[in-house]
Amino acid sequence: QLSAEYNMIVANITTPANFFHLLRRQVTWGFRKPCVVMSPKSLLRTVISPLKDFTHGKFKELIEDDYAKPYNKVEKVLMCTGKVYFDLLEKQEQDKRKDVAIIRIEQLHPFPENQLEKVLAKYKNMKKLIWVQEEPVNMGYWTFLLRTYYKRKDLEIVARKPSASPATGFPKMHKEEQQKIVNAAFNR
């Protein structure tokens, strides 16, 4: 809600290498702009990037799906950010779903609309475009996405039901709700 007119960078990074490149980009820019990273610390403890990802490449504002190929077989595209990606990836690989692609949005503001449209254009047979978030539907990035990416009228949402609290407070219930979100994303 505080970001507008390109006044800051807001990111939710899923790999250590991309986090490194984001920080490197911040330092090498010829201007200064605040960068807010929403990634949980747990990802930095559990996710590993190969050394070559640190030494080559640059910051990726979004990361395409490497698993769901060829592109013409994909009928559903799931977009997400943050650690929910790893739950979706596990389900995709477990069920061998080559008909569902998962795109990670690593930079939320400024939203990488042009890059996303180029990636979506590859999926000629896409029938559904779904935003998946683990937060309740009245929280998280959904309302921001509606304001920012409003031209996509076919965008749907899979999230927890509206709530006054961001989490249940019970790990077992959270895990069950997370599994429901993942299943709904693939079965909708």
Unique residue bearing structure tokens 């960068």? 35
How far apart are the C-alpha atoms of 98 and 50, rounded to whole Å?
A: 24
Residue 42 pLDDT: 80
Q: Is the pLDDT of residue 106 over 80?
A: yes
Higher pLDDT, 146 or 107: 107
- pLDDT score of 167 more than 80: no
Distance CA(119)–CA(71), nearest Å, equals 10
C-alpha 158/C-alpha 140 separation (Å) is 12
For the chain, give the percent of residues with pLDDT over 70: 100
Average pLDDT, integer, range 137-156: 86
Is there a contact between 42 and 67 (Cβ–Cβ < 8 Å)? no
Q: What is the mean pLDDT of residues 85-102?
A: 96
The tens digit of pLDDT for each residue in 16-50 reads: 999 999 999 999 999 999 999 998 878 878 899 99
Q: pTM for this one?
A: 0.93
Which of 32-46, 99-113, 134-148 has the largest mean confidence? 99-113
Q: What is the pLDDT of residues 58-91, one digit of tens each?
A: 999 999 999 998 999 999 999 999 999 999 999 9
